[in-house]
Amino acid sequence: MKNILIVLFLLLMTLASSQTHRFIYELQLKMDSTESDYQKFSMILDIDPKEVKFYGRNLLIADSLNKRSGNTDNRHVDMTGQIVKRKINSFDHENFINIKFGYYTFNTHDEMKWKISDETKNVQGYILQKATTTFGGRNWTAWFSKDIPFNEGPFKFRGLPGLIFEIYDTKNNFIYNLSKSQKLSGSYPTHDFLESNFGTKAIPVIEKQKKKLFLEFYNDPFAVERNNFNKANTNIKINIGGKEIHTIDELNTQTRNMQGIIRKYNNPVELDKAIHYEKN
């Protein structure tokens, strides 16, 4: 949580202005809940007078490079499944997610009830207070500061009387830590990488359709490559992950391997929405 660049009295003076307050969190997550290794991601929480957005910093970097060069050559695909947007003081979320070559959006209501403890700790001069909640099939512990008067936090976590500095589930599959903050003069436009994914506009779906898309991908993750084989009159070569595929049997082997990977890394932050993939 080092290098948190928050000057409290300046923050209080600008709460009602058109400025955006950007908080950067380090997210550590286990792609496979049975392993001890973490993947690390830098995530951004943007708070402006009307909206709150949470997304990966790599999306912002790619967008910044495109704006600088005047093209759309730089792209990034989110791997966290944690791109969300909400109105200020709302638990209604617009979610964005990549599923193979498509980009989709769906709406959820994610109200959570907090139990605030009297327990506190001092971290770099900030008094953090403990709170707990249950969300997404996991139990969570948060540490928030009343000194920073935003009732917001990373991902969908919000509703406490102060900014969330730390939050983690009790099994430590997901750990968020505030690392620094910035103050922007206005709202940063995200339409090129959040509401759409570098030219791919988000398609609205409902939960049932989203589940169907994931299952279709799991059942045949190389459907496009398989279609090319079926159309070809002669042997063709297809590259998958650096490996040349020459036959349908080889493609079927790659399909089973990919299905194993999907099952292995099926550890979403909202565990109660995890899709059950059957071994074929």
Residue partners of 164: CB distance under 8 A and separation at least 6: 142, 143, 144, 152, 153, 154, 157, 158, 176, 178
DSSP letter at 208 equals H
How confident is the model over 208-220, as a mean pLDDT? 95
How confident is the model over 131-154, as a mean pLDDT? 97
In this prediction the pTM is 0.90
Percent of the chain past pLDDT 90, that is, above it, reads: 73
Class of domain 8-197: mainly beta
Q: pLDDT for 158-211, tens place per residue?
A: 999 999 999 999 999 999 999 999 999 888 899 999 999 998 899 999 999 999
CATH 2.50.20 residue window(s) in the chain = 8-197
Give the pLDDT band (50/70/90) at residue 51. Answer: very high
Residue partners of 184: CB distance under 8 A and separation at least 6: 19, 20, 21, 22, 46
* pLDDT given at position 7: 42
* pLDDT given at position 245: 83
* pLDDT given at position 235: 61
Distance CA 159, CA 154 (A): 11
Distance CA 197, CA 69 (A): 18
Query: Residues 261, 267, 273, 275: what is their CA dihedral angle, to the nearest 10 degrees?
Result: 20
Structure tokens at 47: 């708070």
Q: pLDDT for 61-84, tens place per residue?
A: 999 999 888 777 788 889 999 999
Residue partners of 129: CB distance under 8 A and separation at least 6: 116, 117, 118, 119, 120, 143, 144, 145, 146, 162
